[in-house]
Amino acid sequence: MPTDKPKNEIKVTDKRIFTAEGEIREEFRGEITPSEPSIVSEAAPAAPSEPPATERRHEQKEPPKETGDRRRSIADKAKNPDSAFTNFIEPLIAQAYMSLGMLRNPYQPQTKIDPAAARQMIDILTLLEEKTAGNLTEDEEDFLHTHLSELKLAYVQRTKSVG
């Protein structure tokens, strides 16, 4: 029995700002302008004005206790908060670092880079990050996100130099 009802169509719209090459997409060029890095001369004294918020964040060593702000250093975020979840993913993270040759594998006498294994571990950790979104504590989220970001950056750097 044929039906003449129109099928539900799904329209997919790419709303990402940047292309795969890192360029700003055409539809966003009017809205977003790239900023130039600020260069401060050593000879000229800095103005007595307050530094921008981004500079203040990097200067601050410990989070403010009154506000409960999440500003912490990368080393603090990368520290294992010793929860069941982080204790579960820590060996996965270590395996990815070993596959990239950034951590010595105790079972191999020499360091060997295995990009395929590193990519697989990064994909597994990315999947875990996506599937646990909204269900982790702030410390667990910081721990996973920090190591995953570092692994992705290291993977790109290592595979460019290898290949």
Say what the pLDDT of residue 63 is: 43
DSSP E strand stretches across the chain: none
The answer to the question of residue 60 being in a domain is: no
Q: pTM value?
A: 0.53
The answer to the question of residue 105 being in a domain is: yes
Provide mean pLDDT across the span 68-88. Answer: 76
The answer to the question of residue 122 being in a domain is: yes
Provide mean pLDDT across the span 19-35. Answer: 70
Say what the pLDDT of residue 58 is: 43
Going by pLDDT thresholds of 50, 70 and 90, the confidence category of residue 26 is confident
The answer to the question of residue 55 being in a domain is: no
The answer to the question of residue 49 being in a domain is: no
Question: Bridge-partner residues for 57, per DSSP?
Answer: none
> Which one, of 150, 144, 133, lies nearest residue 85 by Cα?
144
C-beta separation of 144 from 136 below 8 A: yes
The answer to the question of residue 157 being in a domain is: yes
Q: What are phi and psi of 24, to 5 degrees?
A: -75, 130
- Domain of residue 96, residue span: 73-163
The answer to the question of residue 114 being in a domain is: yes
Give the chain's domain count.
1
Say what the pLDDT of residue 79 is: 79
Q: How far is CA 47 from CA 40, 43, 50, 85, in A?
A: 10, 12, 8, 47
Say what the pLDDT of residue 151 is: 93
Whether residue 61 has pLDDT greater than 80: no
The answer to the question of residue 2 being in a domain is: no
